[in-house]
Amino acid sequence: MKKLINELRGNQSALISLTEANLKTSVEATRLGWFWWVINPLVMMGIYYFFVGIILGRGGENFHLFVLTGLIAWQYFSISLLGTTKVIVSNTQLIKQVALPIPMLILIPVMVQMIFAAIGFAVVVIWNFKAIGLHTFLLVPLMLLTGMVSYGLGLFVSVLNVYLGDTDQILNYILRMGFFLSPILFPAEAVMQNEKLPEFVKVLFQLNPMAFLIDAFRTVLLDGAVFNVTDFLILFCCIIVLIQLGLYWVRRNSSQIVRML
């Protein structure tokens, strides 16, 4: 971890320039640019609200904001993670000729999506302005931790994609399943308090970092309250370990990666 921090400091200008370039490319690739990041969860929110809230008559008050918050958090995590998958194979010249650190390159798509996610969460904050308070600043550590989750997993999948070119396709299917296994369309309590579900299912659900993070985003944005700090610190420590293992995995395979590119 210390080596990563030193690499980021030593290549700070390159990190900023590449992040700006990726951000500019993402925005200029479509006519509406930034707005697509907001339009996509809004459209999905409308669809789910129509079927669950209106057709089925479930969801309760402010279900639209409940779904929107979950969608933005999930979109931030999933697009960041998918973005890390092809970082190594897409930056062959930077790795072989400029010799930029691979862990730094993997961080770039996460930083780009963090900026887009901030715009999405700003929409929720404005929409539900009555819940604004000092606790709203807790969005910052939550967004950083979500990015850390994507980055930690991205360290593994980006290297795996060098050996297995279909990694992004496999990951895409896994994320689709993860969408419905995360509390995006339902509260976490619906799983934890369901007596029909076996205990091992509840344990697996709790091991999903997005289960806590999505619920924490809602606590801050919709309830105007503070999330469980103890659970946050536990997850933070686990993600630090994940990133450390990921960095070891990348550096152990770095020489082989260069030969295969």
List, as own/partner pairs, every contact residues 78-82 make where C-beta atoms lie below 8 angstroms and the sequence separation is at least 24, other chains included.
78/175, 78/178, 78/179, 79/113, 79/116, 80/109, 80/110, 80/113, 80/114, 80/147, 80/150, 80/151, 80/154, 81/150, 81/153, 81/154, 81/157, 81/171, 81/175, 82/168, 82/171, 82/172, 82/175
Q: Tell me, what's the pLDDT at 29?
A: 65
- In this structure, what DSSP letter does residue 49 have? I
Domain segments of the chain as ranges: 2-260
Q: Tell me, what's the pLDDT at 64?
A: 84
Q: Tell me, what's the pLDDT at 12?
A: 79
CA-to-CA separations, 118 to 34, 103, 125, 144, in angstroms, rounded: 11, 23, 10, 11
Buried b (16+ CB within 10 A) or exposed e, 94-125: bbeeeebbbbbbbbbbbbbbbebbeebbeebe
pTM: 0.90
Q: Tell me, what's the pLDDT at 32?
A: 64
Q: Tell me, what's the pLDDT at 148?
A: 97
Report the C-alpha gap between 199 and 203 in whole angstroms. 6
132: number of Cβ within 10 Å: 12
Each of the 261 residues of the chain gets a pLDDT tens digit; together they read 777 777 777 777 877 888 888 877 776 666 666 677 677 777 777 777 777 767 656 666 788 889 889 999 999 999 999 999 989 888 777 776 666 788 899 999 999 999 989 988 988 898 888 888 898 999 999 999 999 999 999 999 999 998 888 898 999 999 999 998 899 988 888 888 888 888 888 888 888 999 999 999 999 999 999 999 999 999 999 999 999 999 999 988 887 877 776
Supply the Cα-derived Rg of the chain in whole angstroms.
Answer: 19
Report the C-alpha gap between 120 and 153 in whole angstroms. 23
Tokens of 138: 């807790």
